Amino acid sequence: MEIITPIQAMRAVRRAEPELSWGFVPTLGALHEGHLSLVRRARAENDRVVASIFVNPMQFERQSDLQAYPRTVERDADLLNAEGVDVVWTPDEAEMYPPGFQTVVDVQAVTRRLEGEHRPGHLQGVTTIVTKLFNVVRPTRAYFGQKDAQQAAAVRRLVLDLSMDIAIVVCPTVREADGLAMSSRNVLLTQEQRAAAPVLYRALSEAVRAWEAGEHQAEILRSWMKTRIESEPLAQIDYISVADPDTLEELHGPVDRALLSLAVYFGDVRLIDNMTVS
C-alpha cells in the first residue's frame, strides 16, 4: 500500500493505470467499521482502491469542532492496509487550499435544509472538497455512507449536474450492538452520554415500525420521534425531519416514501442518524 500526499503524486499513480477501474472512499479519518464497510465494497468492485484521509477545514463551521475532531492517521493506515487498499491519499491542507482560494461548489436546494440549515457552510465545504478529490483521483466509483444521507444526496446531484463520469455507491449505515450509528464523534461522548445515545436509533426504529404498521402522517411520525428523544434528559434536539429522500424537502400529510432523520446534541457532541421508509 502506498501513502501519498502531493496532488501530483496521486495524479501520477492514477494516470499510470488508466484502463483499470478505480474505487474511491473519501474520509476524514478516525476510521471505524462504517468506513471499512465502504472500503470492503470498493475492494470487491474495483481493480484499485484509493482511500483519502483529510480533515477538511472548509466543512467545519465551528473552530472548536475542527480542533476536537479525532486524528488517528497511523492506526487508520494500518486498518486500510489490512483491507487491501492500494493507495491512501493524505492531502496537504496548504496544497488543497492554496493562497487566494475562492472557488466553491454549491449544490443548491438539496443543501439548504437539515444539515445545511443547522450547519451553515458545512455541505458547501463537503461538495467543494469532494469535487477537488474527484478531480485528482478520477475514480470509476466513489463510496459514501447512508449515515450522511444528505451528503450522499448532494454528491449524487453534483455528479449529475456537473456531468462527472463517476458512479456514486451509497452503503448502509453500520451500527454498534446497541444500535448507535458508528461515528468518529462517538469517542467524544462521556460514559453517560454514550449510554443515552442509542435513543436516536430507538426513536428512528419506532417511527419506522409505526410507518410499517400504517401510520403514514408525517406530522405524527415527527412528533413520535420528538417525544421519544425528549424522554432522554441528556439529549438536546437540533432537528427532527421527515423529508423527501432525493430533494430533502420536508413532507406533510401522508407519506409513501421518506427519509426520517435527526440531529441531536449530547453536550457539545452533535450526532446525526437516519432511516428510510418506502
138 scored as a contact of ligand AMP (CB under 6 A): no
Burial of 222 (0-12, 13-18, 19+ CB in 10 A): buried
150 scored as a contact of ligand AMP (CB under 6 A): no
Q: Applying CB under 6 A, which part among 9-17, 78-86, 133-141, 171-179 lies near ligand AMP?
A: 171-179
Angle CA 193–194–199, to nearest 5: 85
The 10 Å Cβ neighbour count of residue 10 is 22
- Shortest distance, position 219 Cβ to ligand AMP, whole Å: 28
Compute the distance between CA of residue 20 and CA of residue 108 in angstroms, rounded to an integer: 33
52 scored as a contact of ligand AMP (CB under 6 A): no
Q: Applying CB under 6 A, which part among 79-87, 107-115, 116-124, 170-178 lies near ligand AMP?
A: 170-178
181 scored as a contact of ligand AMP (CB under 6 A): yes
Q: Applying CB under 6 A, which part among 35-43, 65-73, 133-141, 238-246 lies near ligand AMP?
A: 35-43
- Shortest distance, position 199 Cβ to ligand AMP, whole Å: 17
Angle CA 238–242–243, to nearest 5: 110
Residues 183-222: x where in contact with ligand AMP by CB under 6 A, - otherwise, as a string = xx--------------------------------------
Residue by residue, DSSP assigns 64-130 as: HHHHHS---HHHHHHHHHHTT-SEEE---HHHHS-TT-------TGGGTSTHHHHSTTHHHHHHHHH
Judged by beta carbon, residue 131 or residue 184, the one nearer ligand AMP is 184
Q: Applying CB under 6 A, which part among 133-141, 168-176, 211-219, 245-253 lies near ligand AMP?
A: 168-176
Q: Which of 174, 242, 263, 272 binds ligand AMP (CB under 6 A)?
A: 174
35 tagged catalytic = yes
CB hemisphere CA count around 205 (13 angstroms): 10
Which residues are registered as beta bridge partners of 89? 4, 52
Residues sharing a CB contact under 8 Å with residue 159, sequence separation 6 or more, in sequence order: 166, 168
Which amino acid would we find at residue 100?
G
144 scored as a contact of ligand AMP (CB under 6 A): yes
145 scored as a contact of ligand AMP (CB under 6 A): yes
37 scored as a contact of ligand AMP (CB under 6 A): yes
Helix (H) or strand (E) holding 168: strand 167-171
Marked catalytic residue, from 32, 35, 122, 216: 35
Positions marked active-site: 35
